[in-house]
Amino acid sequence: MIALDGKSLSVLIEKEIKQEVEKLNAEFMYPTLAVILVGNDAPSASYVKMKSQACERVGINSLVFAMPENVTEKFLLQKIEDLNQDSKVHGILVQLPLPKHINTQKILEAISPLKDVDGFHPINMGKLMLDLEGFVPATPFGVMQLLKAYHLDVRGKNCTIVGASNIVGKPLASLLLNAGATVSLCHILTQDVGFFTRHADFVFVGVGKIGLLQADMIKEGAVIVDIGINRTDEGKIVGDVEFASVSQKSSYITPVPGGVGPMTIAALLQNTIKSAKNFAKGLK
């Protein structure tokens, strides 16, 4: 078994991004990411902190706008509109989940598709489905780069994704399909997830359930990508894959932590630089 080391790859990517930022700075361009955080969700606050620390490491300006749980939808929409209009801001990200009284889809659709570095706007989602240039959501984008770095080609292979979220499963399905894979997308109503995972050359799991993927659910030599992030009762971070047994049977596997997580952050930085460059070129 070989570990898919997202941590090391993310360090290399950050090094490249830092050089790109320096080039942009020399032309008086200062890539800037605006992050909106609503409420007191502890994991969200921790993700936002990791994102802004990563920005700091590579020289991207990060502006974090923290808002109370009871913020109105109207106020949020106005903030997004201000950021859409602000020529110093190149990327806008609203950390999810949002409180129940806010219509998440309405918020995501208010972000200019040109600054939508999370790739969640329907225009960017549609472009992804059509294999057109746009912003690709960070987690699936990071996963694809991790596979590429290890020369793992999905063309003609059976890929099973467990978890059909808008953030991970659905965009990952499009990326894999565009790369020539045969894709099975399992979800909450799938009757026999094991049937699909056992027939897969590549298994991607992003559900948020400890121990979801067990060794008897994969075929010998499969590539396993664990997108889950869970905290055990003892406070340890683990994925959705039962690592000890599954890693014995797989050819490649992502560790948690140190696999997909750091790649998600790296991909967000890449999207932000891409947006800043697009603005610099005057394409927008």
96 binds ligand GUN (CB under 6 A): yes
**CA 29 to centroid of chain Cα atoms:** 26
167 binds ligand GUN (CB under 6 A): yes
**Residue 226 DSSP SS3:** strand
Stretch in the footprint of ligand GUN (CB under 6 A) among 92-100, 156-164, 216-224, 227-235: 92-100
Q: At its nearest, how many Å lie between ligand GUN and the CB of residue 266?
A: 12
Among 163, 211, 169, smallest CA distance to 188 is for 163
By beta-carbon proximity to ligand GUN, the closer residue of 100 and 281 is: 100
Query: Considering only residues 5, 20, 116, 118, which one is a binding residue for ligand GUN as defined by CB under 6 A?
Result: 118
| Structure tokens, 13 | 């990517």
Indicate if 116 belongs to the active site. no
Question: What's the CA gap between 244 and 249, in Å, rounded?
Answer: 10
138 binds ligand GUN (CB under 6 A): yes
By beta-carbon proximity to ligand GUN, the closer residue of 24 and 91 is: 91
Strands (E), the chain: 2-3, 32-38, 61-67, 91-94, 158-162, 182-186, 202-205, 223-226, 230-231, 237-238, 252-253
∠124-126-127 over CA atoms, to 5°?
65
93 binds ligand GUN (CB under 6 A): yes
CB-based burial label for 272 (10 Å; 0-12, 13-18, 19+): buried
Indicate if 53 belongs to the active site. no
Stretch in the footprint of ligand GUN (CB under 6 A) among 82-90, 93-101, 152-160, 208-216: 93-101
Q: Name the active-site residue from 79, 115, 116, 118.
A: 118
Binding residues for ligand GUN, total number by CB under 6 A: 8
Q: At its nearest, how many Å lie between ligand GUN and the CB of residue 274?
A: 16
Indicate if 277 belongs to the active site. no
Q: What are phi and psi of 47, to 5 degrees?
A: -65, -40
Q: Name the active-site residue from 5, 79, 95, 115.
A: 95
- Give catalytic residues, as residue numbers: 51, 95, 118
Residue ranges that bind ligand GUN, judged by CB under 6 A? 93-96, 118, 138-139, 167
